């Protein structure tokens, strides 16, 4: 059982956050490392916290992590942070980078080669948000932990 911290007002938080963060410097193995980190995190969520995590959720999380990290490493001139956290019945994939330019979804174009990452993320995520930060930006995508139709 995770430790529970007591706030300054002596209140005890309702639930301890389930999350993990990793810094990525770039390089040939960063994207694969980020995908594996996401897979390992969701396996721990299932095993240690007993939360239902479908194979679909794991696959979609790996896809979203891959697309967001790829874009961050391609366009941002510096390190990237990947934060994964459980919020209600979803996993939030949060990517911070130091590029202040916010991504803009492009119109669908079947003739365009590449540059479909943001379209893919927005298509598979339950929620998607982009926020400018004091240094750079933060992109958050929410993915359901389990398929509500009953599929594993």
Query: Which of 3.30.565.10, 1.10.3980.10, 1.20.210.10, 3.20.20.140 is the CATH number of 27-144?
Result: 3.30.565.10
Distances (CA, A) of 16 to 19, 27, 75, 78: 9, 33, 34, 31
**Lowest-pLDDT range of 33-37, 58-62, 116-120, 135-139:** 116-120
The mean pLDDT of the chain is 84
Q: What confidence score (pLDDT) does residue 89 get?
A: 93
pLDDT, tens digit (0-9, with 9 covering 90-100), for 31-87: 999 999 999 999 999 999 999 999 999 999 999 999 999 999 988 877 899 999 999
Task: Give the Cα separation of 68 and 102 in Å (integer).
Answer: 13
Task: Give the Cα separation of 114 and 84 in Å (integer).
Answer: 26
Tokens of 54: 């479908």
The H-assigned helical ranges of 50-112 are 55-75
Distances (CA, A) of 21 to 34, 47, 76, 80, 149: 10, 19, 18, 10, 30
Dihedral angle sign, alpha carbons of residues 126, 132, 133, 136: positive
Longest dimension (CA), the chain: 59
């Amino acid at each position: 059982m995770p430790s529970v911290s007591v706030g300054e007002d002596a209140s005890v938080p309702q639930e301890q956050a389930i999350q993990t963060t990793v810094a990525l410097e770039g390089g040939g193995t960063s994207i694969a490392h980020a995908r594996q980190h996401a897979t390992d995190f969701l396996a721990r969520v299932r095993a240690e916290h007993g939360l239902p995590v479908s194979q679909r959720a794991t696959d979609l999380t790996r896809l979203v992590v891959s697309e967001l990290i790829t874009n961050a490493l391609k366009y941002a001139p510096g390190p990237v942070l990947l934060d994964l956290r459980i919020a209600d019945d979803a996993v939030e994939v949060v990517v911070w980078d130091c590029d202040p330019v916010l991504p803009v979804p492009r119109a669908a174009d079947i003739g365009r080669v590449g540059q479909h990452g943001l379209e893919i993320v927005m298509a598979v995520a339950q929620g998607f948000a982009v926020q400018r930060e004091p240094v750079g930006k933060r992109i958050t995508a929410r993915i359901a932990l389990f398929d509500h139709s009953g599929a594993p």
